[in-house]
Amino acid sequence: MNTQLNLKRGIRTTLFTLMVILFMIVILLPIYYIFLTAFAPSGKLFTVPLTYVPRSLAIARFQDIFGALPIARYMLNSTLLATFSTILALTVSLLAAYAIARLNFPGANLVMVGLLASSMLPGTATVIPLFQMYQTLNLMDTLHGLLILYGSALLPITTWVLVSFLRQVPVEIEDAAKVDGASFFPLLWRIVLPVIRPGIATMFLINFIIGWNEFFTPLIFARGAGVKVITMALSEAQVIGARSEFDVSWGNMSAVAILTTIPVFIITLIFQRQIVEGITSGVFK
Amino acid sequence: MRQSPPLWTRSTLSSNAIWADTHNELPVASSDAGHRQLTTGVLPLFSRQNLSTRRILLAWLLVTPVVLWRLLTSVYPFLRTFYISFFDNSPVRRTFDFVGLDNYMALTRDANVDATLTFTLFFTVTSVALQVVLGLAIAELLNQRFKMRNFTRAVNLLPWAMAPIVIATAARWIFHQDYGLINDIIWRLSGERPLWLVNFTTARFAVTITDVWKNTAFLSVIFLSGLQGIPLELYEAAKIDGADGVRSYWYVTLPLLMPLIISMMIFTAIFRVLTFEIVYALTNGGPGTATSLLSYLVYLEGFRVLNFGYASAIAMLLFFIVLVVGVVGYGFLRRAWERL
């Protein structure tokens, strides 16, 4: 009887472990394959069947792409755009979220619903007039022009999440500060900000990742090399030294993919909990 | 819903600080009772209306940047798209002529639009179904206790964190006929090497699989959070009633998660309709127009053909579909709430 139970439990544990392993393989193997491609010595790329354990690695592709494309400039632009759009969006969203969560004003719900609805407006349904506006206003191919659009995309969800974080924080501390005569900005800075710092940090991480990964906006609005971003280097790297339309350099593409992915992986692996909290608080509260 | 801070209305109009309280007031505990007392009797000097006007003014001042930013970069361009859709507008031919419903009539005759709608339907239904089922399964998996659970949860998030364009571009290599990862595995198992991106059906599945790989993590994280919100007592009660394992999942977990599942289905479906990068980089909408999606069509028509008027009409069709998905989904959601 007892051994039978143990056997049953043993089978169950084994099955479960197998499922976890299968899950890990499905996620990690494609990523590992891109890693292999990026570091494969030239000539070792096209082998049938594939070799999953390489005998040697090469960094030649990275030297190639840095030599042929302004990769450093692209990465700098991505960093600048992701960072500053995040800071700007957080600042104005915090002001709005404070008003919505604390000031109980007529129209607060309208603002919330309006933001949500506007985030459902497809980017492709706004891009043509924006393109025309940007040409008239000379905002094409400028970092500040891109910043406006990057930031705009972050506002609805950031405001929503900050409202939900604010609503979880008791108001008593703020009330006490108000009794002490604190005026608005000191109150926000010294009292409100410290209590919702986790929310701010979470949204900073998520927004940075979203900004870093942006592709459609720069595809349309950033055409000069000075303002291009790293996600645009994927297709450019594929055709370095290409002899024909069908001569695609998968190795170079993979090298750019690795460069684009490393920063977001580091953030995700370190701050997994915070990111999950950010994702879920946008949905639940 | 939280009420606004009750002490708010206690603010006086003194100095430049809107809520700088005068210190000679009665110290009142922050409670609703105090609030009522104060606003009705203790501060007759200041009309309540006047005070709340200042509060409302401040509130609107605070939301203005966000509202204005969104109005200028989202709402106005959207309305403008609607307007342009009634014009023949091309920067190449330098035209801006009113053509009434011509662009919309052209939509109904466009074979590309037909093909695109067919694939949109296939892609949305297949991808949402797979994501919901797999998302629930992964959530269940990550909810168990095991060694390296935190690491597994972090790994689960990796596809979510990667740029869609990176995944789409890399997928083209992974689905490569001779040297791709997927065909290597299939070849080892069966000796076949399917032409993923050449055949209609397989190309459609390639797009769908790539999308599912990238986006299931998001759903699983939300479902996991939903699972953690179900009180354990319910499972114990179900156990007493003889429901265990699969049956308790069917009778306890699923009904409780249903509103969440439905709302996430709406959300996921809308974003499937809006998908751009995967089609742009993995298949270019091909073979032919087998994997074309509306966002991609807007991009082609607007920024390759440079036919802004017609592209705007396609964009309005896209918006209309999103609206329908949202409204129909909301109806289902309300029914699910009522049943709970």
Task: Using DSSP, state whether A271 is helix, strand or coil.
Answer: coil
Considering the domain architecture, whether residues A111 and A233 belong to the same structural domain is answered as: yes
Q: Can you give the pLDDT at residue A176?
A: 74
Contacts of B73 in chain A (CB under 8 A): 126, 130, 148-149, 152
Q: Strands (DSSP E) along chain B, which ranges?
A: 87-90, 95-98
Token duo for residue A5: 């139970």
Average pLDDT over residues A249-259: 93
Residue A170 forms part of a structural domain: yes
List of residues 6+ apart from A119 with CB closer than 8 A: A156, A157
Asked if A47 has any chain B CB less than 8 Å from its own CB, the reply is yes
Question: pLDDT class for A62, splitting at 50, 70, 90?
Answer: very high
- Tens-digit pLDDT profile for residues A133-173: 999 999 999 999 999 999 999 999 999 999 988 888 888 77
Q: What's the pLDDT at A244?
A: 65
d(CA A248, CA A239): 6
pLDDT, position B297:
95
Residue A264, chain B, CB below 8 Å: the answer is yes
For A158, the token pair is 């950031």
Has residue A157 been placed in a domain?
A: yes
Beta bridge partners of B87: B98
Q: Write the CA distances from A246 to A238, A241, A243, integer angstroms.
A: 10, 12, 8
Q: How far is Cα B294 from Cα B311, in angstroms, rounded to an integer? A: 10
Residues A27 and A138 in one domain: no
**Chain position carrying tokens 């950031």:** A158
Examine the domain organization and report whether A37 and A102 are in the same domain.
no
Q: Which residue of A has its CA nearest to B270?
A: A120
Average pLDDT of A231-250?
82
Closest CA to A112 of A100, A124, A104: A100
Q: Which pLDDT score is estimated for A103? A: 87
pTM over 0.95: no
Specify the DSSP class assigned to residue B252.
I
- For position B46, what pLDDT does the model report? 42
Please report the pLDDT score of residue A163 as a whole number: 92
Largest CA distance in chain A: 82
H or E segment at A163? helix A143-168
CB–CB contact A122 B274 (8 Å): yes
**Residue among B170, B222, B295 whose CB faces A257 most closely:** B170
Residues in chain A within 8 Å Cβ distance of B170: 30, 34, 253-254, 257
Q: Residue A63 falls within a domain, yes or no?
A: no
Find chain B residues with C-beta within 8 A of A133's C-beta.
77
Ranges under pLDDT 50 in chain B? 1-47
Tokens found for residue A52: 């999953």
Asked if residue B134 lies in contact with residue B211, where contact means CB atoms within 8 angstroms, the answer is no
Span A67-115, pLDDT tens digits = 999 999 999 999 999 999 999 999 999 999 999 998 888 889 999 999 9
A202 interface with B at CB cutoff 8 Å: no
Tell me, yes or no, if A246 comes closer than 8 A to chain B by beta carbon: no
Q: Please name the residue of chain A whose CA is at the shortest distance from the CA of residue B263.
A: A283
Give ipTM to 2 decimals: 0.93
Asked if A115 and A201 sit in the same domain, the reply is: yes
Give the pLDDT confidence score for residue B74 in this predicted structure.
Answer: 95
What CATH number did the domain enclosing A224 receive? 1.10.3720.10
Question: A178 vs B276: CB contact, 8 Å cut-off?
Answer: no
pLDDT, residue B49, reads: 56
Helix (H, G, I), strand (E, B) or coil at A103: coil
Residues spanned by the domain of A19: 2-58
> Amino acid identity, residue A18?
L
Contact: A120, B73; criterion CB under 8 Å: no
Say yes or no: A57 contacts chain B, CB-CB below 8 A: no
**Most A CBs within 10 Å: which of B54, B70, B182, B209, as the mutation test of the A interface?**
B70
For residues A65 and A233, the answer to whether their CB atoms sit within 8 Å is yes
Q: A269 CA to chain B: closest CA distance, Å? A: 6
Q: What is the pLDDT of residue B43?
A: 39
Phi and psi dihedrals of B31, rounded to 5? -145, 165
- Fold annotation for B103-339: MetI-like fold (1.10.3720)
Neighbouring-strand partners of residue B98: B87
Task: Judge if A232 and A131 occupy the same domain.
Answer: yes
- Per the DSSP assignment, residues forming a β-bridge with B90 are B95
- Report the phi/psi class of residue A202: left, alpha or beta, with left for phi > 0 and alpha for psi in -120 to 50: alpha
Check if the beta carbon of residue A123 is closer than 8 Å to that of residue B79: no
Number of domains forming the structure of chain A = 2
The answer on A74 and A39 residing in a single domain is: no
Q: Which residues pair with B95 in a beta bridge?
A: B90
Please tell me the predicted confidence (pLDDT) of residue B69: 97
Q: Which of A58-62, A192-196, A242-246 has the lowest mean pLDDT?
A: A242-246
Spans of all domains in chain B: 6-84, 103-339
Which residue in B151, B124, B163, B116 sits closest to A28, CA to CA? B151
Among chain B residues, CA nearest to A249: B173
Position A64 in a domain: no
DSSP string, B264-304: HHHHHHHHHHT--HHIIIIITT-STTTT--HHHHHHIIIII
Q: Measured between CB atoms, which of A27, A46, A118 is closest to B159?
A: A27
Using CB atoms, which residue from B141, B181, B316 is nearest to A33? Answer: B181
pLDDT, tens only, A191-240: 888 888 988 999 999 999 999 999 999 999 999 889 999 999 999 999 88
Rounded to whole angstroms, how far apart are CA atoms A191 and A195?
7
**What does the DSSP 8-state code read for residue B100?**
T
CA dist., res. B18 & res. B328, Å (int): 45
The answer to whether the CB of B283 falls within 8 A of the CB of B338 is no
| Residues A133, A33 share a domain | no
**What pLDDT does A184 receive?**
76
How far are the Cα atoms of A37, A55, A63, A260, A263 from residue A58, in angstroms, in the given order?
A: 10, 10, 10, 19, 21
Closest CA to A178 of B108, B65, B10, B227: B10
- Tell me which of A55 and A16 has the higher pLDDT: A16
